[in-house]
Each structure stands twice: as C-alpha cells, then as structure tokens.
Amino acid sequence: MSVNRRKVLKGAAATTAVLAMPSIIRAEETIKLGSILDTSGIFDLYGKPMDKAVDMAIDEINSAGGVAGRQVEKVAYDTQSDMALYTQYGQRLARQDKVDVVHGGILSASREAIRPTLRKNKVLYFYNVQYEGGVCDRNIFCTGITPAQQAEVLVPAAMEKWGKKVYVLAADYNYGQITAKWIQHYAKQAGGEVVQVDFFPLDVADFGSTIAKIQDAAPDMIMSVLVGGAHLSFYRQWAAAGMNTKIPMASTTMGAGNEQVVLTKEEGDGIMLAYSFSKQLETPANQGFLERWKTRYGATDDVHELAVATYQGVHLWAEGARKAGSVERDDVIAALEGGAAFDGPTGRISIDPKTHHATFDVHLVEVKDQKMAVQKTFVQRPPVDTQTVCNLEENPNDTTQYEIDI
C-alpha cells in the first residue's frame, strides 16, 4: 500500500523508533531476519498484525528445525508510521545489524525508503504487502496482491453480474491512480466503459456531492479504490442515502484491513472483492492457520490480507533458503526463481522469476454479514507483468518501477 511522503510525515506520531525484543536470545550462529514495520502510529492497524505474523512464522520455522540447521532470530524496529525512520533503521539493519534478510515496509513510500539501501548492501528484501505493482528489481520479492491481479478477476466478474457502465472512485495518490488505470484497462477488455473516474485526497470524508454526481451518471456499478479511515465514510454515506440497494459496488481495497467488520451488515453487504485471503476460505491450510493464530494470540479478529501475506512471505523465504541449503542472497534468489514454493493459508505461493512477484490463488469474495464469503477461486494467478517490460532474467540490473500505460 502507498501514501505520498508528504502526508505520511504530516501524520506521523513520533520521530524516535523503538527496538522490539527479538523472538529468541541472540546467538552468533543464528540467522538474522530484519523486520521493519509500523507497529505504532497511524498505520499500526496494518503493522501490529504483520508483526505478529512475523513472530508466528519464525517460531514455526524454528520449531521445524530452523533453516540450514540454524535458528532464525528476529531483529525488529518500530518505525512509528514515520517514513524518515525507515531510512534510518533500514541502514542500521543492513550495516550494523548485518541481517541476512529483511521483511518489512507497508506503504510504498516506506518500501522506496529502504529498497535502494538494501540493494546496495546486498541484503535480500521481501515486501509482503498489497501495493500498486510494477517494481522490477532482482533484490526484492513482492508477495502481496497487485491491482492488476485483482482487477483481472474482479472487473469482468462484476461487469458480468451488474453491467458494462462503470464509475470509479479512487484515492488521489499513486496506488489509487495506477489501480484506476488497471480498472479502465480490464473494463475496456471486457467490452465495458468507465464513464467517470473521481480522485479524492486521503483526508476527504464528505461524499455528499459525489453521491449526487453518481446518481446523475446512473452507472451500472461502482468500483471503489478508496483508502483509509476517512474514505470509509463513503460506504456509510452511500448506504445512508439508500444507494447501496440501487447501484452495486466492487472494491480493490475494502476488506484488506478488516473494514467489513467496522461497517454494519447493512452498510457492507453485497460489496464484491478479490483477494488472496479470506477467513472464510474453507481449506485445511487456512483453518489450521487460523486455529494456530487463535491459540497463540487469543483471537483472530486482527488477521487480515497483509498479515497473511507477511506470514507467507517469511515462510517462502525459509523454503527458498532450505532449497538452497544456504541463506546467502544469491543462493536464495536462485532457489526462489527455480520454483521454491510454500503452501499457506491462501493456497500455494511461488515466485515468477521474470518479475519477482508472487503467483497464488485469487478468491472472488462477497461481503455478507461482515464476513468475506468466497464465491469462486481462480487458481494460481500469475503476476501481471506491467507493459510486459519487466524481465529480470534478461535484465537482472533493472531497478525501475513500471506503470501501465492506457
């Protein structure tokens, strides 16, 4: 996920990070896994469950014998939702702590604050978050769902059910802007039309005039790419105006942070989503994961898409290291490019060697009774290569972030 740097700094709660306690007592022979997340501040709704996921995955890996005969030790920093601290503590992880791998970052601004440092110091980096897509860098593995993977499933399914005339509402920064382009791309591909795209700053919470505009446009459906607490107001105002029973809605963002639980049944029911994870996915792997989480933490209320992607990202790294018989950067990269995989709560996850993005199942979901009911599963959806230009097999030194051009 991403928010522009200016707005993040404005909303940051503090400027001093707190070093979290490592999972196990440090020993010289341990493998050091760096974790850098917002576990306090305005983004802790995402960061706290992600931090829990790191701990749970490490403990499971260590209980199973570790990696290459060594135990994994977590070296963690809380960046307190301050992007400046990502740069500071990313450098510390690489240069002073000398970690073997880093898992972390939530917003795209945080990813870009540490990606160059980790690449320069040859520290392998896993970014386990839903984001706008397009990063092409052999030193990073992106294991979260991208807008293209979502839109490829969600847009044609929604249009088939509701009609071809689409109205898009999106957050006004890179994630919303790029996702809106993907929606336009797949709407056109499915024979539909995006009649309007409206962008909103993250602090906008009054959507009265927008609802009136939508009524005048009379679309067949809404595609929401709204982000954050202020934008959650739209769903409430939409329902209060009685529009949720007149014009249906799909979203690429609602539910990623368990927003369906914040909304009432009346406000959320019927919204169509597409994600790699749902608590309602009835597979032994998912139900087993949720049971272990509940046993460890007492409840599963805070489990969300980003937490599960983080859990799977840590396990996927471990599988790569086991296959390589080493935690050396180039060895793990080669193993993951060569097919190392992990069977997790979302299904099987592996890496596309050309783009270093994840291949996994995508689940078409409908919000019902504050739950994400799985309607259909699209098995092993590959990452969508933006403009078919990212090819790390041919260009291993590429460090570009590409965007779709429509």
Predicted confidence at residue 147, as pLDDT, reads: 84
Predicted confidence at residue 263, as pLDDT, reads: 83
Answer whether residue 15 shows pLDDT above 70: no
The H-or-E segment that residue 104 falls in is strand 101-104
Phi, psi of 282, deg, nearest 5: -95, 75
Answer whether residue 301 shows pLDDT above 50: yes
299-309: burial string, b at 16+ Cβ within 10 Å, e else? ebebbbbbbbb
> DSSP class of residue 42?
T
Taken as a whole, the chain contains a residue count of 406
Looking at the chain, the whole-number percentage of residues with pLDDT higher than 90 is: 71
> In angstroms, what CA-CA distances link 174 with 230, 268, 327?
18, 26, 34
Answer whether residue 48 shows pLDDT above 70: yes
Least confident of 71-85, 157-171, 228-242: 228-242
Answer whether residue 53 shows pLDDT above 90: yes
Answer whether residue 59 shows pLDDT above 90: yes
Tokens for 140?
Answer: 């990073």
Tokens for 122?
Answer: 């040859």
* Mean pLDDT, rounded, for 173-181: 90
216-263 tens-digit pLDDT: 999 999 999 998 877 889 999 999 999 999 999 999 988 777 787 778
Predicted confidence at residue 6, as pLDDT, reads: 29
Answer whether residue 72 shows pLDDT above 90: yes
Contact 96, 117 (CB under 8 A): no
The span from the CA of 140 to the CA of 163, in Å, is: 39
The span from the CA of 334 to the CA of 368, in Å, is: 43
Tokens for 130?
Answer: 């839903």
> In angstroms, what CA-CA distances link 141 with 51, 59, 66, 135, 219?
18, 22, 21, 9, 38
- The number of beta carbons lying within 10 Å of the beta carbon of residue 2 is 24
Q: How far is CA 316 from the centre of its chain?
A: 15
* Mean pLDDT, rounded, for 42-46: 84
192-208 tens-digit pLDDT: 999 999 999 988 899 99
Predicted confidence at residue 51, as pLDDT, reads: 98
Answer whether residue 73 shows pLDDT above 80: yes
Find the helix packing angle between 228-240 and 208-217, rounded to 10°. 60
> DSSP class of residue 388?
G
344-403 tens-digit pLDDT: 999 999 999 999 999 999 999 998 888 888 889 888 888 876 656 899 999 999 999 998
The number of C-alpha atoms within 13 Å of 170 and in the hemisphere containing its C-beta is 27
* Choice between 131 and 336, residue whose per-residue pLDDT is larger: 336
Answer whether residue 309 shows pLDDT above 80: yes
pTM over 0.85: yes
Contact 153, 273 (CB under 8 A): no
12-51: burial string, b at 16+ Cβ within 10 Å, e else? beeeebeebebbeeeeeebbbbbbbbbbbbbbbbbbbbbb
What residue ranges define each of the domains in the chain, with the CATH number in brackets? 31-145+283-361+383-387 (3.40.50.2300), 148-275 (3.40.50.2300)
> DSSP class of residue 357?
B
The span from the CA of 170 to the CA of 328, in Å, is: 41
Answer whether residue 28 shows pLDDT above 70: no
Predicted confidence at residue 1, as pLDDT, reads: 55
Contact 317, 332 (CB under 8 A): yes
Answer whether residue 26 shows pLDDT above 80: no
